[in-house]
Amino acid sequence: MAMASVQLGRQSSMLDSPRSPEAKLGMQVEDLWDVQEPQLSPNDKLNACFESIPVSAFPIAPRGIEIKSDANLAEAVQILAQNKILSAPVVDVDAPEDSTWMDRYIGMVEFAGIAVWILQQSEPSSPRSPSSPSGAESAIAANGMASAAGLGALGPEGASITSGDFFEALTSSEFYKNTKVRDISGSFRWAPFLALQKSNTFLTMLLLLSKYKMKSVPVLDLDDGKIDNIITQSAVIHMLAECTGLHWFESWGSKKLSDIGLPTMSPKQIITVYEDEPVLQAFKLMRKKRIGGIPVIERGGEKAIGNISLRDVQFLLTAPDIYRDYRSITAKNFLIAVRNHLEKHEKRSPMLSGMITCKRDDTVKELIQTLDSEKIQRVYVVDDDGNLEGVITLRDIISRLVHEPRGYFGDFFDGVLPLPENSRV
């Protein structure tokens, strides 16, 4: 399969069209930038600007999707897929109407948690992984309170267990239909989740989305005990893309990726899957290594033919019939089948864009514009021969925008967020 490559960058200007809410927000940063103390470094200036803006100023997401706690997994998957979101708050159907937000919500359900449940079902029978686990046992595994079984011997020779029949049987089973969202919605570190108030600052929000590895941050309206907004990493990147042309953004965005220390990993640190390995191997690696995506590498080479992300598990659950003609679902078969499915139904998806890459000497602005226009979570860095050199995620970009002042969160996070040093989720 030929590797499609999308060129970074697009030409845009804030003067080309009426200013969006994100662009107006960028202008607010611009005004603050101009009045900062001249002796401050550019990074300190940005920190000061973002510390002066409340998160209530961030544009409200167009719709607030919530999932009821008594919805089953099939319903949750459909809601997430149809709305093109990675996660959603879970509302406790048994909570009184006048509940506080702590009692109203029981957590977040996400494709990642559902993927863990799927991996549990794909494991062969063993004393630790019974062939017919109870709902409670599956919930424990999906909640992260007990890890799913290891990668095992699921190499090319075991690919037959990941045939299309397996997923058709799974998604039509009573077990899948009867497992409730509330059974798997505890795979987070907060009860029910870490949220911001409207008065909290942009700097706090940006640090949570970068250094503290949160994919999204709910913003609460304490008066009615409900979520007023959910700010995602993607939404922040979109805001930055809308700031093209502003002095503060151009002074930072014109830098080369290598000049701000990206990518942060060496080629040997990149987690990959070969094209002839079972697609579940890719999802298992993502879960085990705590990464959000994985490149598919041609056998016998170093070039990537595509990317599989954790949210792509939706295609295993919503359209298992597209694999019926495959004896086994290898990573390559998965890419081909999903692309054919998307083209047939004329659906826009990052998977149709092929392998999106960049070079170390591309600028931050070019990368941000590509991440925003292609609606993707990561871009792979390649050399002149197309060999992988690294990966850059949304979190990597945001982490280069701000830094945490000494003592900013006090001891709030001490011992609470011990994730692997090279976590890439």
The tens digit of pLDDT for each residue in 170-199 reads: 778 887 888 898 887 655 445 457 889 999
Q: How many CB atoms are closer than 10 A to CB 115?
A: 24
- CA distance to 56, 150, 421, per residue, from 261 (Å): 31, 34, 16
- Mean pLDDT, to the nearest integer, of 34-49? 92
Calculate mean pLDDT across residues 100-127.
Answer: 72
Q: Cα–Cα distance between 243 and 249 in angstroms, integer?
A: 6
What proportion of the chain, given as a percentage, has pLDDT over 90?
A: 41
Angstrom distances, CA of residue 161 to CA of 123, 150, 282, 311, 330: 9, 16, 14, 21, 11
d(CA 196, CA 219): 5
365 contacts 26 by C-beta, under 8 angstroms: no
Check whether 304 has a pLDDT greater than 80. yes
For strand 87-91 and strand 67-68, is the pairing parallel, antiparallel, or unpaired? Answer: parallel
Range with the poorest average pLDDT among 6-10, 95-99, 240-244: 6-10
- Residue pLDDT, tens place only, 315-368: 878 877 777 666 678 999 899 988 888 888 767 776 677 788 999 999 999 999
Q: Per-residue pLDDT for 74 more than 80?
A: yes
N-to-C CA span, the chain: 27
Q: Is the pTM of this model over 0.85?
A: no
Query: Using 50, 70 and 90 to split pLDDT, how confident is the model at 100?
Result: confident
Task: Name every residue whose Cβ is closer than 8 Å to that of residue 354 and which is 6 or more positions away in sequence.
Answer: 3, 4, 5, 6, 306
Between residues 62 and 207, the one the model is more confident about: 207
Q: What angle do CA 61, 63, 66 make, to 5 degrees?
A: 115
The DSSP string of 47-114 is HHHHHTSBGGGSPPPS----EETT-BHHHHHHHHHHTT-SEEEEE-TTS-TT--HHHHEEEEEEHHHH
**Range ranked top by mean pLDDT from 17-26, 71-80, 411-420:** 71-80
> Which one, of 91, 120, 117, 116, lies nearest residue 104 by Cα?
91
pLDDT of residue 163: 56
Least confident of 53-67, 69-83, 94-108, 189-203: 189-203
Confidence class for position 118, pLDDT limits 50, 70, 90: low
